[in-house]
């Protein structure tokens, strides 16, 4: 099926579709004559690992919010089943789910325009994962990068860690998703979902569409203390990561301490000057300007002065989000109610699809 030809190109995203052994890259460009929402099912998920950081927002959440204005059907899941592939304290997990819900809402996810739900509250995800797992070979999973990386870190990995890309595929296919916003490091996992859709269709008849990837054009945000690695919640250096709940003073301190170099001029040279280039990239992203524009703005400043400008831009962008997260966190009942309503909507979509799958597989 030539689903890639139906992927409408929009200005914010790049679209990747895998067809057999070929991958096509659709570069960003404005759609013409589009006055209504695009058809298709958008799905993506995020693990409840606490409050998102600057990189999460610019690399994913900002795009998620924009997609609500692009597509007629949008779903976002807090994928708590995925989170338990690593040891979790139960109470901390509950708190993290609430924090993630509050953060998504504060960033602009609107439950009236998108379905926001907690993955574990829709049991069909796990059921479809088992069926797809029975169609997946062990060598196929062994070659996925996340397993290689995380199993090396722990010296060994759990069965859940080994098979969680299959659960990812189930998350996507359960809603017959056509578009999936992902990071570049997740492309191979999406390709598994495409492969499993094809395998299922070949075995049981045409049923699942092959989902396209939506890649944001935003550059990856690097660690403030080590610009050779990306910004991470798990970074042991507290000054390396800017969180959405950081106060203006927190942000100013972290940006002031950001690693740059001994050249005072502000330029954008990612290879030779990764530290200052990271600041330029962040400044451009949060201010809505191009890299060239913010570099021109910084003419005549040294990096110390420029850091103050960057910090102020980040504070202005995230202060309303920080305050809204605080407000939402204070009303756990409201968050629980929103997630319950979202799960009910998700189940209403998942149940009939799962009924058809059971019939196709031969369960009844």
Note the pLDDT of residue 8: 38
Tell me which of 176, 220, 230, 341 is the catalytic residue: 230
- Is 150 known to be catalytic? yes
Residue 171 near residue 43, CB atoms below 8 Å: yes
Total Cβ atoms within 10 A of residue 196: 25
What single string gives the DSSP state of each residue in 203-239?
HH-S-PPPPEEEEE-PPPPBPSS-TTSB--TT-S-GG
pLDDT the model gives residue 32: 36
pLDDT at 215: 86
Task: Report, as ranges of residue numbers, the positions in the chain whose pLDDT lies below 70.
Answer: 1-35, 146-156
What pLDDT does 149 receive? 65
Give the pLDDT score at 155: 58
pLDDT tens across 214-260, in order? 987 777 899 999 999 999 998 999 999 999 999 999 999 999 999 99
What's the chain's average pLDDT?
88
Query: For 287-324, what is each residue's pLDDT tens digit?
Result: 999 999 999 999 999 999 999 999 999 999 999 999 99
Instruction: Give the chain's end-to-end CA distance (angstroms, integer).
Output: 28
pLDDT for the residue 227: 95
Q: Which of 30, 39, 148, 150 is catalytic?
A: 150
Among 210, 237, 211, 212, which residue's Cα sits nearest to residue 222?
237
Determine contact, residues 176/209, Cβ cutoff 8 Å: yes
3-state helix, strand, coil in the chain (%, to 5): 55, 15, 35
Q: Report d(CA 104, CA 160) in Å as an integer.
A: 26
Active-site choice (176, 220, 233, 345): 233
Give residue 147's pLDDT.
64
Please say if 230 is a catalytic residue. yes
Report the alpha-carbon distance of residue 221 to residue 54 in Å, rounded: 8
Percent of the chain with pLDDT over 70: 87
């Amino acid at each position: 099926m030539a689903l890639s030809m139906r992927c409408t190109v929009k200005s914010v995203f790049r679209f990747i579709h895998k067809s057999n052994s070929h991958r096509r890259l659709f570069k960003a460009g404005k759609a013409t004559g589009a006055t209504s929402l695009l058809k298709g099912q958008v799905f993506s998920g995020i693990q409840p690992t606490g409050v998102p950081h600057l990189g999460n927002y610019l690399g994913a959440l900002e795009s998620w919010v924009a997609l609500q204005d692009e597509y007629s059907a949008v779903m976002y899941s807090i994928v708590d089943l995925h989170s338990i592939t690593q040891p979790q304290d139960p109470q901390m997990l509950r708190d993290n789910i609430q924090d993630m819900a509050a953060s998504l809402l504060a960033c602009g996810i609107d439950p009236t325009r998108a379905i926001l739900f907690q993955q574990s509250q829709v049991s069909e995800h796990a059921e479809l994962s088992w069926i797809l797992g029975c169609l997946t070979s062990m060598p196929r999973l062994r070659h996925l990068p996340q397993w290689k990386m995380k199993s090396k870190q722990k010296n060994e990995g759990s069965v859940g860690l080994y098979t969680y890309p299959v659960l990812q595929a189930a998350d996507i296919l359960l809603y017959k998703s056509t578009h999936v916003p992902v990071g570049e490091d997740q492309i191979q996992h999406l390709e598994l979902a495409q492969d499993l859709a094809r395998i299922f269709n070949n075995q049981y008849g045409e049923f699942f569409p092959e989902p396209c990837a939506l890649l944001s054009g935003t550059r990856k945000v690097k660690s403030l203390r080590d610009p050779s690695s990306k910004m991470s919640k798990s970074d042991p250096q507290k000054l390396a990561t800017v969180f959405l709940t950081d106060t203006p003073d927190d942000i100013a301190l972290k940006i002031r301490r950001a690693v740059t170099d001994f050249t005072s001029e502000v330029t954008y040279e990612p290879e030779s000057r990764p530290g200052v280039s990271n600041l330029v990239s962040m400044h451009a992203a949060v201010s809505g300007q191009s890299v060239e524009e913010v570099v021109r703005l910084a003419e005549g400043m040294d990096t110390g002065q420029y850091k103050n400008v960057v910090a102020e831009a980040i504070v202005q962008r995230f202060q309303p989000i920080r305050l809204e997260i605080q407000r939402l966190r204070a009303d756990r009942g409201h968050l629980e109610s929103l997630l319950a309503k979202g799960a009910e909507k998700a189940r209403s979509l998942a149940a009939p699809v799962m009924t058809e799958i059971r019939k196709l597989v031969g369960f009844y």
